[in-house]
Amino acid sequence: MKCKYLKLLNRYADNELKLNERDILGAHILNCQDCAKELKLIQALKKGVVNNRIDSNQEFFWQELKSKITLKQTADKEEIFTLDFTKFARKLIPIPVVVGVIAAIWLSVSVSTTNENLIDRYLFDNVNGGISNITEELPGDYSGVSILLN
Amino acid sequence: MDPDLELIERFKSGDLGGFEMLVKKYQNKSINLAYSLTQDSSGAQDIAQEAFIKVYENILKFRQESKFSSWLYRIVVNTAYDYLRKNKLLNVSLNDEACPEIIDTKIQEDILAKELVQSSLARIPFVYRSALILKEIEDLSYEEISKTLNVSIGTVESRIYRARQLLKEILIKKGVYKNEM
């Protein structure tokens, strides 16, 4: 059966226990083979992870970093200009759309009004026995209207 | 006053020398942290530089509620995570056979050499790896790691525990360590 103190060994190895807890666990480890073996592994792993250093040239790193920052700032400025232009262009996009919609509405209203006028005129002329020749007076084909009414 | 905060104040007031001193103070720690997280020496330099560029750009957002080093390490960890994600190196299988083979049935401290532990480390999930590395490479306390990673101390403890358990599992698979409990 596993020792109940095994889970505390990480905190022991990482020096995260209070002094009295550390003393108690330290005394336990001396008499517990499971804990002693696990602690040995944790300490070996700690060594293995730490044993890994790179030392870079400070001046070279700094100079390279400075030039990267300068490059990025230049790129950001260009991006700001591009973004501003894009934003401006985006603001302009709705204008032709709105104009187009208004024109379409105006056209449809105007066509339907013209058709209604044609129908009214046709009915008026026929009811009163008039012989008004609509086609001569108004441009457009109203033959469809007469077909519809007949 | 914290010497880092003095340098930050100098930098905020427009003195680039303050930033230069911060970079020179923390560059090796940042590179080593990035290297431990990625196992890529050339990538580690780039990650550290990218992290310092983020510091440069966001220094006004640093509210001095935590230590500068904790803030910087968090940026390095996040930048390393992005680097691994972009290069599709994030989810390496624990069963990956690229780990060096050492056939030995008895645990020996010298067998758990740098190369083996390092290659095994690269195979454990990033969240566990980052907590363990902040402990071992930067020698941070659990509390400092919790501030750096923005998680609770209990989470830090369980991540470090899990990281070591996973390393142990890899070593058992490799035949380096025998679990006789």
Which of A6, A37, A49 best probes binding to B when mutated, by most B CB atoms within 10 angstroms?
A49
Q: Is the pLDDT of residue B54 over 90?
A: yes
Interface pTM (ipTM) of the complex? Answer: 0.77
Nearest CA among B51, B127, B124, B108 for reference residue B83: B51
Q: Is A77 on the interface with B (CB under 8 A)?
A: no
What residue in A sits closest to B153 (Cα-Cα)? A16
In which band, very low, low, confident or very high, does the pLDDT at A86 lie, cut at 50, 70 and 90? low
| Chain A residues with beta carbon closer than 8 angstroms to that of B32 | 52-54
Mean pLDDT of B161-169: 92
Phi-psi region of B103 (alpha: psi -120 to 50; beta: other; left: phi over 0): beta
Phi-psi region of A130 (alpha: psi -120 to 50; beta: other; left: phi over 0): beta
Residue A75 Cα to chain centre, angstroms:
22
Flag if B136 and A41 touch (Cβ within 8 Å). no
Q: Which of B28, B56, B109 sits opposite A56 (nearest CB)?
A: B28
Sequence-distant (6+) residues with CB within 8 A of B117 are A45, A48, A49, A51, B167
Nearest CA among B108, B112, B91, B163 for reference residue B134: B163
Nearest CA among A105, A80, A114, A3 for reference residue B181: A3
Domain coordinates in residue numbering, chain A: 6-50, 94-149
| Radius of gyration, CA atoms only, chain A | 45
Q: Determine what percent of chain B is predicted with pLDDT higher than 70.
A: 83
| Chain A residues with beta carbon closer than 8 angstroms to that of B55 | none
Per-residue pLDDT tens digits for B96-132? 444 444 444 444 545 556 677 878 888 899 999 999 9
pLDDT at B113: 61
pLDDT at A109: 84
Contact B126, B82 (CB under 8 A): no
Annotate B142-172 with b (16+ C-beta within 10 A) or e (fewer): bebbbbbbeeeeebbbbbbbbbbebbbbbbe
Give me B84's structure tokens.
């691994």
Residue B13 Cα to chain centre, angstroms:
31
Q: How far is CA B39 from CA A4, A84, B34, in A?
A: 35, 41, 8
How many contacts, defined by CB atoms under 8 Å, are there between A and B?
Answer: 98
Q: Which of A2, A53, A65 sits opposite B52 (nearest CB)?
A: A65
Q: Is the pLDDT of residue B4 over 50?
A: yes
In which band, very low, low, confident or very high, does the pLDDT at A23 lie, cut at 50, 70 and 90? very high
Contact A49, B136 (CB under 8 A): yes
Mean pLDDT of B150-178: 89
Is the entire prediction scored with pTM above 0.90? no
What residue in A sits closest to B108 (Cα-Cα)? A44
Q: Is the pLDDT of residue A59 over 70?
A: yes
Mean pLDDT of B130-158: 93
Flag if A49 and B44 touch (Cβ within 8 Å). no
Residue B29 Cα to chain centre, angstroms:
10
Mean pLDDT of A113-126: 71
Q: Report residue B154: phi and psi, to 5°.
A: -60, -40
Q: Is the pLDDT of residue A149 over 60?
A: no
Flag if B53 and A45 touch (Cβ within 8 Å). no
Q: Whole-angstrom Cα distance, residue A73 to residue A69?
A: 6
Task: Share the mean pLDDT of chain A.
Answer: 78
Q: Is the pLDDT of residue A146 over 90?
A: no
| Chain B residues with beta carbon closer than 8 angstroms to that of A49 | 36, 117-118, 121, 132-133, 136-137
Q: Whole-angstrom Cα distance, residue B122 to residue B163?
A: 11
Mean pLDDT of B153-177: 89
Tell me the domains of chain B and their CATH numbers.
1-90 (1.10.1740.10), 92-181 (1.10.10.10)
Q: Whole-angstrom Cα distance, residue A69 to residue A127?
A: 87
Q: How many CA atoms are closer than 13 Å to the CA of B28, on its beta-carbon side? A: 10
pLDDT at A7: 86
What residue in B sits closest to A43 (Cα-Cα)? B109
Task: Share the mean pLDDT of chain B.
Answer: 84
SS3 A102: helix
DSSP B151: S
Q: Is the pLDDT of residue A128 over 60?
A: no
pLDDT at A81: 64
Count the Cβ atoms, other than its own, within 10 Å of residue A69.
Answer: 17
Nearest CA among B55, B35, B62 for reference residue B136: B35
Mean pLDDT of A36-63: 84
Q: Is the pLDDT of residue A118 over 80?
A: no
Q: Whole-angstrom Cα distance, residue B7 to residue A99?
A: 58
What residue in A sits closest to B121 (Cα-Cα)? A49
Higher pLDDT, A72 or A81: A72
Count the Cβ atoms, other than its own, within 10 Å of residue A78.
Answer: 10
Q: Is the pLDDT of residue A137 over 60?
A: no
Higher pLDDT, A4 or B99: A4
Distance of residue A83 Cα from the nearest chain B Cα, in angstroms? 19
Per-residue pLDDT tens digits for B58-78? 998 888 888 899 999 999 999
The secondary element (H helix, E strand) that includes residue B101 is none
